[in-house]
Structure 1
Amino acid sequence: MRLTHIGGPTLLVEVAGWRLLTDPTFDPPGRRYAFGWGTSSRKLIGPAVQPADLPDVDAVLLTHDHHADNLDDAGRAYLPSVPVVVTTASGAARLGGTARGVRPGESTVLEAPGRPALTVTATPARHGPPLSRPVAGDVVGFALRWDDGSLWVSGDTVLFRGLREVAERLHVDTAVLHLGGVRFPVTGPLRYSMTGRQAVRLCGVLDARTVVPVHVDGWSHFAQDRAGVERDLARAPADVRRRFRWLPVGRAVELEPA
């Protein structure tokens, strides 16, 4: 498995002859984006790789389409160049075209000659506190499985019972966790994505050999950056700490098979 962290939640995943891209965000930094209900955020860091410099991508895994830190204008313009976009059912209805909508627990299969079939299963995510779904919208994670490997992308989510239950059932080689501890001034202390402390608790029931944090910095609404996550990790059990791996931005990294 080869992973290239492009920035934010955007990751190029190369496995078994497939190239997948998560949550494409390619806008330059500087602009402020509205997220609805009085919330907004400024993009602080641009992508390490431009769309024109990417190899041909077979599918986009889009955890949700309605927040610009997961799909910005340049990312949206990129989608028609990709054969398949897998996203939420509501997002697929908005995007149309080649988008395939999946609800938590539902699967779709990517197939191509000469390559093993790749099963993509949507996993539950809750992008905020209890009862926030009508405001924060639908989000999913993705569990990928192929002949001899597996990967889980959490999507933007806080730690909640549904996520713990998925982690207890999943047997994956690598987990990609969206962190950042998102907060907005208008909603005070409420969190809209996981903190490092929550990630540590999740890893207590998750058997992934490697845990890759992403979506930790680059936006003004992230309340916990890498340094904050690392402070939480420093207090974690040793077996959890050694599983975490920070990827260099813009450079491909080979992960050894289990």
Structure 2
Amino acid sequence: MTEARITHIGGPTALVEVDGWRILTDPTFDPPGQRYFFGWGTTSRKVAGPSISPDELGPIDAVLVSHHHHGDNLDPSARDLLPRWGRVFTTKAGAKKLGGGATGLAAWDTTTLEAPGKPTITITATPCRHGPAGSDPITGPVVGFDLTWDGQEHGSLWVTGDTVFYRGLRDVAERRDVGTVLLHLGGVKFRYLSGGLRYTMDAKESLKLLDLLGATHVVPVHYEGWTHFKQGRSEAQRVLDASRHAGSVTWVDPGEAVTVQV
């Protein structure tokens, strides 16, 4: 049995440490106060900075970027730091834009992360739909990442990426044996574009996914730090605490960490 240590840095950003690997997800290290433009009249302002600075972070072996074109998943500070952070895995469109040898993946593509003295990690890109049906031309391509390696006893470690619940996530539940979920929430909405439509799951919607997965550990992220996140921790926690999945959910404050059996 192996352990994974997950440190929540803020927003969607987490550090995953397992068997000598140090993997960063959706890095965001800009200070608060900046405004980000996502296209089609959508904007957001960052209201909280990272709990750990890049200088405090230490060496990084790999970075998982679910999508490169939204500043709440890859901001300018983090983008400048990518060359010093080892291998980068992202969408095919993101790899073309980022360059530097970034590996581009479409849903269900696989690749490996290898190094002497460490277990080989197989990375499988998983489907995402970052909004309602038909929104892909607006929101652009997004992927999640499912990580497997020898020694896992409770299933894979899955980073959902920014997505609503739809058929593609049902496919993940059917095709993958997921044990630990880094769950992107936030109930994202944009006043001028979405009306009542959401662009990421809220807690109630995530229950449909958790019902299918039966995961051992659920660590929510992507619910604080930007103004377009419309469901914060307190509301989301009430929903999840009242569900049958309450015992599997661990809330990790920015700057704090949890160690889980995988």
Shared fold, TM over 0.5: yes
Give the 5 Å matches for 1:59-70. 59-70=62-73
Shift in Å, 1:171 = 1.1
Please say if 1:185 is aligned against 2:170.
Answer: no
Q: 2:237 aligns with which of 230, 240, 256?
A: 230
Distance in structure 2 (CA, Å) of the matches to 1:17 and 1:173: 20
Find out whether 1:244 has 2:249 as its counterpart.
yes
Whether 1:199 aligns to 2:206 is yes
Of 193, 213, 216, which residue of structure 2 is paired with 1:209? 216
1:130 to 105, 128, 133: 133
Query: Which residue is 1:106 aligned to?
Result: 109
RMSD: 1.0
Q: Structure 1, residues 73-115: CA drift from partner, whole Å, max 9, x if none?
A: 1111110102210000010011111200010000110110111
Letter in 1 for 2:162: D
Q: Tell me if structure 2 keeps the 8 A contact 1:83–1:98.
A: no
CA offsets per residue over residues 150-172 of structure 1, 9 Å max, x none? 20000000000111221233212
1:90 matched to 2:97: no
Percent of paired sites with the same residue: 55
Write the letter of the residue equivalent to 1:248: D
2:79 maps to 1:79: no
1:249 alignment partner AA: P
3-state DSSP of counterpart to 1:231: helix
1:37, CA displacement in angstroms? 0.3
- In structure 2, the residue matched to 1:56 is 59
For residue 18 of structure 1, report the CA deviation from its aligned partner. Answer: 0.7
TM-score computed with the length of structure 1 as normaliser: 0.96
Greater CA drift, 169-178 or 81-90: 169-178
| Aligned mates of 1:211, 1:6 — CA distance in 2 | 16
TM-score by length of 2: 0.95
1:242 aligned counterpart, secondary structure? helix
1:39 and 2:20 matched? no
How many Å separate the matches in 2 of 1:42 and 1:152?
A: 28
Distance 1:28 1:184 in 2: 22
Q: Helix, strand or coil: the match of 1:93?
A: helix
Structure 1 distance, partners of 2:175, 2:214, is: 9
3-state SS in 1 of match to 2:169? helix
Residues in 2 aligned to 1:235 and 1:58: alpha-carbon distance in whole angstroms = 38
Q: Which amino acid is the alignment partner of residue 96 of structure 1?
A: G
Aligned residues of 1:8 and 1:69 also touching (Cα < 8 A): yes
Aligned residue for 1:152, secondary structure, equals strand
Structure 1 letter corresponding to 2:218: V
Deviation at residue 207 of structure 1 after TM alignment? 2.2
Which of 1 and 2 has higher RCO (CA within 8 Å, sep 6+)? Answer: 2
What amino acid is aligned across from residue 186 of structure 2 in structure 1?
A: G
What is the aligned residue count? 255
Distance 1:244 1:131 in 2: 31
Aligned with 1:48: secondary structure? coil
Aligned 8 A contact 1:171 1:207 in 2:
no
Q: 2:168 aligns with which of 162, 167, 177?
A: 162
